[in-house]
Amino acid sequence: MKVLLAVDGSPYTKKMLAYLVENREMFMSGRNDYVLLTVVPQLPNRATSAISKEVLLQYYAEESAKVTDPVVKFLAMHDIHPRVVGKVGTPGSIIAQVAQEGDFHLVVMGSHGYGALGSLVMGSVATKVLAECTVPVLLVR
């Protein structure tokens, strides 16, 4: 099974990872292929126009590593060795796009658990993924 782990470094990501390793039998039956995805929001055009492309790419790489490095270390302690992917853009749309284009079988991600009103006012990455993704999504709250 090909599993996309969408992470953002929040406490909800930590809950999702704990769930993943606590329920190894559900995720570890057979040989699974794990991909760890984080999405860094794109900087505004006026900010990016003032710096070189190299500096911008370095910034995105560093921001991505801040999120993924601790997750990779945690998963390695549980004998899970994912491939790491960092993208830039709108998280919900990018997660759905990567899941579909990568032919994943499952997306696993943490969720803040906002109610309907909270999602309407604040927006929700999980809501966006559910709306745009044709791949099954497991939300951990």
pLDDT (tens digit per residue) in 54-73: 999 999 999 999 999 999 99
Q: Rounded to whole angstroms, how far apart are CA atoms 124 and 122? A: 7
pTM (two decimals): 0.90
Q: Rounded to whole angstroms, how far apart are CA atoms 79 and 31? A: 12
pLDDT at 122: 41
Distance of CA 99 to the CA centre of its chain: 10
How many beta carbons lie within 10 A of that of residue 40, not counting itself? 20
